[in-house]
Structure formats: structure tokens, C-alpha cells
Amino acid sequence: MSQTATYHTTVHWKGDHWGHLVMGNGPEMDFSAPPDAHGFGGVFTPEDAFVAAANTCVMMMFIWATERFKLKLLSYECRTEGTKVIELDRTEIFSRLHFHPLIRVAACGDSPAVVEGRVRRALQAAQKYSLVANSVKSEIVVEPEVVIEE
């Protein structure tokens, strides 16, 4: 229950509205704010990072869940939208993360209804056990499209 692990990143200012990010797992890159927030196009932004953190974490947890649920995953693709709300006091919050996963799995001789049930439970587990999804206060909505192939 109280086991802990730590992860770290380091940023430094490069001048103007530019920064450089070094991630604990190795990659590094320049970043800015989005163009609508006085930043630049074509580069990594905190907004992208937030949505990507949730999207990538849920996907990795789903991959793990499919292995635990003995599903033969054929493909997984997920577009995730983060909705920003600007409050009356001008503070901003990601009020919602909306996941649209497209999941293809093989039936492997089981009935499509049984397989789809397992896929949906794996997806629920992915959301429940995703470190990032479990850590954000945004509402999380997952609307999957599941395709079972014989």
C-alpha cells in the first residue's frame, strides 16, 4: 500500500519561450508552450505531455491487461483528447480526458461476446490500474470500438 517509486525529469530555460527537457528514462528534447499560449508550433508542449502521459500509460496498462486476460491483441490505436477549461479566475484545468481506442483482437475460437467482454474488462482494468489515469483529477471517459476477428 505504501510502497513508493520515484521518477524524475529536469528542465532548463533556453531563452525566449523555449526550454529543454531531460527525462529520467533517457530522451531529451526542446519544448515550448502551444501557439495559443505564446509558444511555438511543431514542438513538445506541457499540454501534449499531459495528454500523452495518460494516453501512453493507459495503452501500456492495456497491453499488460490483455496478456493477463489471455487476449490475442491484433492492433490498438487510441486518439485521446484533453479538454481545457478556462475558469472565471483565469486558472486553467484539463476537465476531461476522452479516450477513443480502436481495438482489434482475435477470437481464437471463443464466442465474440465472451471475447468482447474480456476486452472491456481489460480496458476497465487498464484505466483503474494506470498510474497516470489514476493520478489525474480530470474526468476520464473511454469510448472503445472493439473489433473481434475470427
Partner 1 sequence: MSEYLETAVDKFVFRVAADRLYSADGVWAQCQGKRVRLGLTDYFQQRNGDVAFVHVKPVGTTLEVGEEFAELETIKASASLFTPIAGTLWDVNKALELSPETINEDPYGKGWLAVVEAVDWERDAAKLLDPQTYLSLIRSEAEQENAG
Q: Summarize as ranges the residues that interact with partner 1 (CB under 8 A).
A: 1-4, 64-65, 68-70, 114, 117, 121, 124-125, 128-129
Distance CA 85, CA 92 (A): 6
Query: Could you tell me the smallest distance in angstroms from the CB atom of residue 103 to partner 1?
Result: 17
Cβ proximity to partner 1, 46 vs 112, nearer residue: 112
Q: Phi, psi at residue 78, to the nearest 5°?
A: -145, 120
Distance CA 121, CA 100 (A): 16
Cβ proximity to partner 1, 29 vs 114, nearer residue: 114
Cβ proximity to partner 1, 54 vs 61, nearer residue: 61
Listed in sequence order, the DSSP H helices in 28-78 are 46-68
Query: Could you tell me the smallest distance in angstroms from the CB atom of residue 81 to partner 1?
Result: 26
Q: What is the biggest distance separating any 2 CA atoms in the chain, rounded to whole angstroms?
A: 59
Query: Could you tell me the smallest distance in angstroms from the CB atom of residue 67 to partner 1?
Result: 9
